[in-house]
Each structure stands twice: as C-alpha cells, then as structure tokens.
Amino acid sequence: MARPLRPAISATGLRKSYGDKVVLDGIDLEIAEGTIFALLGPNGAGKTTIVRILSTLIDADGGDARVGGHDLNGEADAVRALIGVTGQFSAVDNLLTGRENLRLMADLCHLDRAAGRRRIDDLLVQFDLVEVAGKPVSTYSGGMRRRLDLAMTLVGEPRVIFLDEPTTGLDPRSRRAMWEIIRELVAGGVTILLTTQYLEEADQLADRVAFLDHGRLIAEGTPRELKRLIPGGHVVLQFADQAELDAAARTLVSSTRDDAALTLQVPSDGGVGSLRALLDQLDRASISVAGLAVHTPDLDDVFLTLTGQPDHERAMAR
Amino acid sequence: MSTLTLAVRDSSTMLRRNLLHMRRYPSLTLMLIGIPIILLLLFVYVFGGTLGAGLGPSGDRADYANYVTPGILLITVASAAQGTAISVAMDMTEGIIARFRTMAIFRPSVLTAHVLGSAIQTMLSLAAVTGVALLVGFRPTANPVEWLAVFGVLAMITFAVTWLSVALGLVSESVETASNLPMPLVLLPFLGSGFVPTDSMPTPVRWFADYQPFTPVMETLRGLLFGTGIGTNAILAVAWCAVLSVVCFLWAKALYNRSRAA
C-alpha cells in the first residue's frame, strides 16, 4: 500500500496508578498502520489498562499518546471517531436482539438508513449470525455473543481496533474462527492492538509482540525475534534410577541434570535426525531411557525466561 | 453535524433503546403502576370512610377520593423514580456503556435517554392511575386549561424526580442500593399534605410537611383540580422543580463523567 508509514498508535511514558498501586510504569509503544500488535502478559500486568487509556475510557496519570495522529487528551472525539473497541466483557445489549444491537451502532455511527441496513446485513452474514439476528442476545452462546460484539465494533468501519482478550473463554473452534476474522480485518488495512494471555494466539496473529509484566514492557519484537532471545529447543530424558542418570550425564557432556526428577536436559533442535543420533549414542553406552520429551521454544519459554521465575515464586520473594 | 443536531439524534437513538427495553420487559413498568393503584384502592376503600370524616363535618369517602388522588399521583412519580434508579444502575453494570463511552457520540445521551424514557413511562403511569381514580370516585372540577396546567405540573415534578433518580442510580454501587435509595421519596407524600391535611400533625412533623417539596406540588394540583386556594404554592412548586432538576442534572452529569479518572 502506498500510504506513508506513520504509526497508527504511539505512546510515550504512559503511567497510571490506583492509589499506591502502580499499574503502568512508563509504557512506550509504536504500532504501524495495518499491523497486528499483541500485548502479552499475565492477569494484572496492565494490558486492559493500556487498552482503556488508548480507547479514551480513562485518562493516564502521565505520558502522551496519539491514535491515528490525534492526541488522546485534546482530541478525544477525533480518536473516538477512528477506533473500535471490543473489550474483555461483552459490550452488547442483552435485552435487544442481535439486529437491534447492530442497528443501534449504525445509528450512533450516524450511517443513513439504507447504508446502515446494508452494513448490518453484510455483518450478519460475515459473522454467521443471520439465523439468530431476530433473537434476544440473552439467548446467545458465548461464541455468538463475542462475534456480535466484534460485529458491533465494526459497524462504523474503524481504522484502529482494540481487542482486549478477544478469545478468552471461547472453545477452540470459536477461537480459530475469531482468528480468521482478525486476519481478514488486517488484510483490509486496519490496525489492531490485541491483548491476550495466550502466547499461541500472539504467535499466530501478531506482526509484533510486546511482553508486559508489572506495568512495564520487558521485551518487544516479532515473534521470531523474541524466540531468538532464549536458548533453542531441548530434549528431556527421563531415567529409572540414579545410576542410569549418572551414566547418561557422563556420556552427554553438554546436558544439565535434575537429580530430584531423574531427568537430563539435552540441547537439541528436536529434529528426527538429531533424536536418532542422541538415542544411538545412549544405546552404545547401554543406557536405557525411561521416557523422552521434545521441547521446541515457544513464546511461553521467552516469557518465563524474561521474567526470570514463575509468577508465584516472585510474589513470595518480595 | 452541529452539537445540537448530534445531541438530538443520539439522544433519540438511545431513547429508542430505552423504550425497547420497557416494551420487551414490561414487568417493571407494571409493578411501578401497581403500587400506587393498590395504595389508592386501600386509602379510598379501607381508610377512606374514616379519613373522609376527618376532612370536615360533611366529609365522606367520595370527598376523600378527591383529597387523596393528588397524593397518589405523587406516589406514582416517586415509585417510578425507583424504577429509573434501578434501570440506570443496571445499565451501568453493562459492558455496552463502556462501548458508548468509546464512541464519538453526544456523551450525555445515555442519561438524557433514561430521563426521557422514564418521563414517558411515568406520564403513562400517571394516566393509568388517574383513570382508576376516576373509576373509584375522583371527581375533579377542572376545565381544560386547568387540566393542561395539571399536566404541566406533573411533567415538571416528574422531570425533576427523574433526574434525581438517575443521579441516585449512578451513585449506587449496586442495583440493590439503587432500589433502596429512592425509597424515602415514596414516603414524602405521607409526610406532607398527600393523605391528611398538615394542620392535623404535631408541630415538628407539620413543619417538615409544610416545607418539603412535594406539599406545594400537591397543593397546586388540588387547587387546579378543585379550585381550592393555590396561593404561593404554584411558585414554590415551580421553584422546587427547577432547582431539583438543575442540581440533579449537574450531579448526574458529574457522576457519569467521573469514571474517566477511575
């Protein structure tokens, strides 16, 4: 696309605290137009707070942010005209039908009657809601509700979309359907800021990923770049007793042992060839292996490596 | 689009949403109309004979039906206020309110729609209650102009009480609180000239009864309906309604915008 490369969302030094609790501790973001940016982090890391600030729901205590070139503070209404938000909690009117919900959005986006009706019909088809359009939303399943929620966000054809944990609580099939919809949206040129707890989701969808932990961004990059941050894959060998473990540790010098679990962690690319070589080597030394697990690096590893230790241990260490 | 056009357009969109809610779930509306009607029947047929005798030497049940109806009309307004506070509080728990806040719309339209919707609902309840009152012996002597004035007074107090209940609904942390907060409003006609003349009350109660906002409204209604003296009551009623409306509108607006700092 021949559009100039300007950021759809940019933020510098965003801060927010509630009383003594610092929720955001200086967040810098730059999200290019037409890309998907995923914010990853555990519950309470501040993901939703970032979305709430950038979507004009709450004010930051400090820092600057612009969405679509408009300043959040001075030009909140200009920002609102550009964005669409689908939050973690469904933002649909339960007492209305699906079609009435969409019509409400069309009217609030000031579409004229005919254009509104066309848009609503298209969205009902696109989101597979035609059959339930006349039923009250209170009778919808979780997946239907989430689809309607996103359809409502899209009525006004927003250029920038915030998706706050769009697939939390969905079954695997609905999750994949939602991913497909998100991919189509970006193909149409919109910019998406997505928050998620699922690393796989970020891996599947995002052009760039940022890890958020305790109100700070601890890493940012493409999924590939982030995976490069940590040591490669490994194979975990399980042994029946201490003697076998000792013998194996002597044979495989580059391994790390875990005496309590009777396991040995051996660096490996996880390929069939290297596995066969590894097992042959153990065979020649007459060491029997009780079990074997292949581990290729994923974003989970990156996150755990970056945060140093699992969340609960850190909480105790304070 | 100018601010005014935007305000009117968005408010009417939101009003359509509120009216759909009412039409689809009429049980709340029916309950709100039911309470004043039951009170009316109770006071006319159970207490009416005795209380009517207290109005004067020739007083009877029919006189009491005339006397109590303005009080019952204000009970209707107060009971509708409870419904408004409940529906506002319920609405605020819905995620869709957050969605509205992220849209480029006339911000207070959510509130104006609640006020207009509740006002329409209250005026319908008032019509229903007046109909029942006419059936049980309410015989006003008002001419069409006076009826129009009655409508005006009721619309004013409805507007004022509705803004109050919208604010109460917003200030409530839960739907339960929202249903309890407006309770005292239903008692106000009792602690005024709604059911018995205030000069029969002990001094401290009478003092309160004479100076609370519902009494001048009820006295103005009586004056318009039956040609009794209105005096300064009309001005007092208008002043109370105006002050209540403005103060509660500003309060509600501040409450609605407050959450941006949260």
Q: What is the CATH number of the domain that holds A245?
A: 3.30.70
- In this structure, the answer to whether residues A177 and A89 fall within a common structural domain is yes
User: Inter-chain contact A57–B261, Cβ cutoff 8 Å?
Assistant: no
**C-beta of residue A35 within 8 angstroms of C-beta of residue A86:** no
pLDDT for A3 beyond 70: no
- In this structure, the answer to whether residues A246 and A193 fall within a common structural domain is no
Q: Name every chain B residue with its beta carbon within 8 A of the beta carbon of A110.
A: 1, 9
Q: Report chain B residues touching chain A, CB-CB < 8 A.
A: 1, 9-10, 13, 16-17, 20-21, 24-25, 94-96, 98-105, 259-262
* Structure token pair of residue B241: 């309604």
**Domain stops at, among A228, A261, A287:** A228
- Residue A215 forms part of a structural domain: yes
- In this structure, the answer to whether residues A211 and A249 fall within a common structural domain is no
The C-alpha atoms of residue A7 and residue A29 are separated, in whole angstroms, by 10
Q: Name every chain B residue with its beta carbon within 8 A of the beta carbon of A104.
A: 13, 16-17
Q: How confident is the model at residue A314 (pLDDT cuts 50, 70, 90)?
A: very low
Closest by Cβ to B13, choosing from A56, A94, A108:
A108
Q: How confident is the model at residue A308 (pLDDT cuts 50, 70, 90)?
A: low
pLDDT digits (tens, 9 = 90+) for B23-63: 888 888 888 899 999 999 999 999 988 888 888 888 888 89
Predicted local distance difference test score (pLDDT) of residue A2? 45
pLDDT above 90: percentage of residues in chain B: 66
Q: What is the number of alpha carbons within 13 Å of residue A127 lying toward its C-beta?
A: 28
- In this structure, the answer to whether residues A268 and A161 fall within a common structural domain is no
DSSP state of A90: -
pLDDT digits (tens, 9 = 90+) for A95-129: 999 999 999 999 999 999 999 999 999 999 988 99
User: Looking at CA atoms only, how far is residue A112 from chain B in angstroms?
Assistant: 12
- In this structure, the answer to whether residues A50 and A196 fall within a common structural domain is yes
Closest by Cβ to A59, choosing from B96, B102, B260:
B260
Q: Name every chain A residue with its beta carbon within 8 A of the beta carbon of B102.
A: 55-57, 80, 83-85
**C-beta of residue B155 within 8 angstroms of C-beta of residue B217:** no
- Residue A1 forms part of a structural domain: no
- In this structure, the answer to whether residues A145 and A274 fall within a common structural domain is no
Q: Name every chain B residue with its beta carbon within 8 A of the beta carbon of A90.
A: 95
User: Looking at CA atoms only, how far is residue A110 from chain B in angstroms?
Assistant: 8
Predicted local distance difference test score (pLDDT) of residue A1? 45
Report, as an integer, the average pLDDT of B247-258: 91
The C-alpha atoms of residue B165 and residue B181 are separated, in whole angstroms, by 9
**C-beta of residue A83 within 8 angstroms of C-beta of residue A155:** no
- Side chain identity, residue B106: F
Average pLDDT of the residues of chain B? 91
A residues 28-67 closer than 8 Å to B (CB): 55-59
The C-alpha atoms of residue B69 and residue A178 are separated, in whole angstroms, by 59
- In this structure, the answer to whether residues A181 and A260 fall within a common structural domain is no
- Side chain identity, residue A289: V
Domain count, chain B: 1
- In this structure, the answer to whether residues A164 and A277 fall within a common structural domain is no
- In this structure, the answer to whether residues A247 and A165 fall within a common structural domain is no
The CATH number of residue A160's host domain is 3.40.50.300
- In this structure, the answer to whether residues A164 and A259 fall within a common structural domain is no
The beta strands (E) that lie in chain A are given as: 7-18, 21-32, 36-40, 62-67, 70-71, 83-86, 160-164, 191-196, 208-213, 216-221, 234-238, 256-258, 263-267, 291-295
Closest by Cβ to B10, choosing from A80, A85, A108:
A108
The C-alpha atoms of residue A98 and residue A136 are separated, in whole angstroms, by 7
User: Inter-chain contact A58–B259, Cβ cutoff 8 Å?
Assistant: yes
**C-beta of residue A12 within 8 angstroms of C-beta of residue A63:** yes
pTM of the full structure: 0.81
Pairing verdict, β A36-40 and A191-196: parallel
Domain count, chain A: 2
Range of the domain at B176: 3-258
- Residue A302 forms part of a structural domain: no
Predicted local distance difference test score (pLDDT) of residue B60? 86
- Residue A306 forms part of a structural domain: no
pLDDT digits (tens, 9 = 90+) for B134-173: 999 899 999 999 999 999 999 999 999 999 999 999 998 8
pLDDT for A301 beyond 80: no
Q: Please, what sign has the CA dihedral across residues B96, B98, B99, B105?
A: positive
Q: What is the number of alpha carbons within 13 Å of residue A86 lying toward its C-beta?
A: 27
**C-beta of residue B169 within 8 angstroms of C-beta of residue B85:** yes
Q: What is the ipTM of this complex?
A: 0.84
Report, as an integer, the average pLDDT of A10-35: 92
- Side chain identity, residue A291: G
- Residue A260 forms part of a structural domain: yes
- In this structure, the answer to whether residues A209 and A106 fall within a common structural domain is yes
pLDDT digits (tens, 9 = 90+) for A207-238: 999 999 888 998 899 888 877 776 667 888 88
Range of the domain at A283: 234-296
pLDDT for B1 beyond 80: no
pLDDT for A4 beyond 60: no
The C-alpha atoms of residue B236 and residue B230 are separated, in whole angstroms, by 10
User: Looking at CA atoms only, how far is residue A234 from chain B in angstroms?
Assistant: 45
- Residue A311 forms part of a structural domain: no
